[in-house]
Structure 1
Amino acid sequence: MPSRFDVKPSTERVGCMDIPVSAWASELFTDEGTARTVRDRIGQALVDMQANARASHLEADVTSTQVHGIARYRGAFERVSEQLADLPGAQLVKPNGFQFDLVRIGNGLLYPFCFAKKDTNVRAARIQNVWSVIRELFAFAPPSEQADLFGEYAFDPSAVVLRPKLAALPEGTRLVLVPFACNASGLLKPYWGVAALADESGTLEWVIDPESLPLPVAPTPKLTIPQQMADHPGFDEGEQPLVALAPRPDAERKLDVAPVSEVAPILPLNSENDEI
């Protein structure tokens, strides 16, 4: 089972505009450069998620925020996998019975979720629905150290039976949570970190303190490509146009009048008197 992480101070040198990457992230995601790319792309994915969800809400033109909630829920998984799928070593993992792909890079298995609709302390975040897949994902998290009154642990990750696709993940895989606060008005605070599942009600015990994720200024622009017609002929493959031929009147032929192929140009007038 996964072991507890030791939080190490970062010794990296950064520019004035850069935000340091923590040592735990560099260790989990192979190296510092990959960890920085993963972190920044997660931020971009969440901004894109909110932009799409808000657009859906506005397009629906309803007072309920249900449309935003559905788009946000699906978008959290789809935008993250979309942003990270092309990174070297990225693996898309779709647990049996789960609708969406999760992304594994290095030893980090990412799980995004909305923990609040307002500005709330992330350390109070909870998993809203601890169903079977969630229990299995937390088998890749450190065990909780908070025992109940009887000295027993409410959730034991070592006792969880994994479904095939999760059981096939390499040893050493660690669950990295990506909690974010979000509502129909905006994306508030996104974080990432490592936590144990303390009990069946979804209480989290943070092993690595949740860190703020830097966010880009704008969502990814969408490029719309018009529908292409595969069976449309090329310019040089079309039918030749038919040119209508008008015969010369017999009067012109008899008078031996020279044929005219073009209309005589109309000269511009210098003054109104030229018309007379």
Structure 2
Amino acid sequence: MLSKWAHDRFGVRAPLIREGVVEALSRALANAQDAQKVAGTDHLHPFGFTLMSRKFEALAKVFEDLGDVLVVKPAGSQHELVVVGDNLLFPFRYGRDRSVSVAAARIGEGRPSALVQALFDRFGPEPVVEQLALGDVAPHAVPIAEALGSLPETTRLVLVAYSCNAQAGLLDAWWGEAELLDRSGSLRWHHCEQIPLVAGTAQLAHSPAAAGPGRFDQGVMPTPRIDARSPLERVRPPAAEAIPLFPDAARDA
């Protein structure tokens, strides 16, 4: 079963969307690991740079056949943003191992970018605490926020937080909604739940977007390989059902 939050956000397609997110992250990780291997260096720049670009591209590719998907590239941004229905999916790496709790996740490794701040300001949940002014975070945030004006007012920002590294691949993934707290990228989760990394057999029975054979929204999502180059598939049991993090989790962690 899915949580009420997931059903409210994605409707009957929620299982498919959730598995599609895992598929996209797995593809991006595999590409990043390949780049690191080909580079033949101990420095992790090839892995990080490839992952940064491919995670957005992979999301767009996985969901490209859904009828209500928008792919938007704001002026000044290097990345294409994927909106499924009214949900803008924004993946970010919060940790490189399991030593960091998602409750203490920070978005980015420094000051939030102009794009990130604009997304939270325009599409994030109603803040519990006073939000930062756009100009306090990045000088170009206001123009970027205006560039997002083409998206519907009903758009909601859905964060996809994941941890991974070049050796082990994808370790875990979560999704939910949060507000941006400060210049360090700290978050206050309004809702956060774990995404199972082992895909099930989610199948879309009824969809207004269905049209034609072989579409993503008509078939069964293939089970993604979490470590694409390992000779043995990593076997992990499905994660426990939706693990909620309360709004004060980030503060108390």
Higher RCO (Cα < 8 Å, 6 or more apart): 2
Out of 160, 164, 170, the position equivalent to 1:178 is 160
Are residues 200 and 210 of structure 1, via their aligned partners in 2, closer, same or farther at CA, if it must alter by over 3 Å?
farther
- Residue 74 (structure 1) aligned with residue 53 (structure 2): yes
Match of 2:225 in 1: 218
Out of 115, 121, 130, the position equivalent to 2:112 is 130
Out of 111, 126, 134, the position equivalent to 1:143 is 126
Letter in structure 1 aligned against 2:62: Q
Equivalent-residue separation in structure 1 for 2:133 and 2:189 (angstroms): 16
Partners of 1:50 and 1:187 within 8 A in 2: yes
SS at structure 1 position matched to 2:22: helix
Identity %: 33
Equivalent-residue separation in structure 2 for 1:98 and 1:194 (angstroms): 22
Q: CA RMSD in A?
A: 2.2
Query: Which structure 1 residue ranges, 5 or more long, are not aligned?
Result: 1-19, 147-152, 222-276
Equivalent-residue separation in structure 2 for 1:210 and 1:220 (angstroms): 22
1:200 positional shift: 2.2
Are residues 78 and 217 of structure 1, via their aligned partners in 2, closer, same or farther at CA, if it must alter by over 3 Å?
closer
SS at structure 2 position matched to 1:214: coil
Equivalent-residue separation in structure 1 for 2:133 and 2:127 (angstroms): 8
Partners of 1:122 and 1:210 within 8 A in 2: no
Equivalent-residue separation in structure 1 for 2:152 and 2:105 (angstroms): 28
Equivalent-residue separation in structure 1 for 2:160 and 2:58 (angstroms): 13
SS at structure 1 position matched to 2:162: strand
Out of 18, 23, 26, the position equivalent to 2:4 is 23
Are residues 56 and 126 of structure 1, via their aligned partners in 2, closer, same or farther at CA, if it must alter by over 3 Å?
same
Equivalent-residue separation in structure 2 for 1:114 and 1:108 (angstroms): 19
Letter in structure 2 aligned against 1:121: S
Written as runs of structure 1 = structure 2, the 5 A alignment for 1:182-221 is 182-185=164-167, 186-215=169-198, 216-218=223-225
Please give the per-residue CA displacement for 1:194-252, whole angstroms capped at 9, x wherever unaligned.
1011122211000012322434342799xxxxxxxxxxxxxxxxxxxxxxxxxxxxxxx
Are residues 74 and 163 of structure 1, via their aligned partners in 2, closer, same or farther at CA, if it must alter by over 3 Å?
same
Match of 1:169 in 2: 151
1:164 positional shift: 4.0
Query: Which structure 2 residue ranges, 5 or more long, are not aligned?
Result: 199-222, 229-253
Partners of 1:154 and 1:198 within 8 A in 2: yes
- Greater Rg, structure 1 or structure 2? 1
SS at structure 2 position matched to 1:37: helix
Are residues 136 and 214 of structure 1, via their aligned partners in 2, closer, same or farther at CA, if it must alter by over 3 Å?
same
Equivalent-residue separation in structure 1 for 2:227 and 2:75 (angstroms): 31
Equivalent-residue separation in structure 1 for 2:72 and 2:133 (angstroms): 23
Partners of 1:93 and 1:165 within 8 A in 2: no
Match of 2:101 in 1: 121
Partners of 2:197 and 2:226 within 8 A in 1: no
Are residues 220 and 171 of structure 1, via their aligned partners in 2, closer, same or farther at CA, if it must alter by over 3 Å?
farther
Are residues 22 and 56 of structure 1, via their aligned partners in 2, closer, same or farther at CA, if it must alter by over 3 Å?
same
- Residue 155 (structure 1) aligned with residue 132 (structure 2): yes
User: Where do 4+ consecutive residues of structure 1 move more than 6 Å?
Assistant: none
Equivalent-residue separation in structure 1 for 2:163 and 2:95 (angstroms): 5
Question: How many residues end up aligned between the 2 structures?
Answer: 193
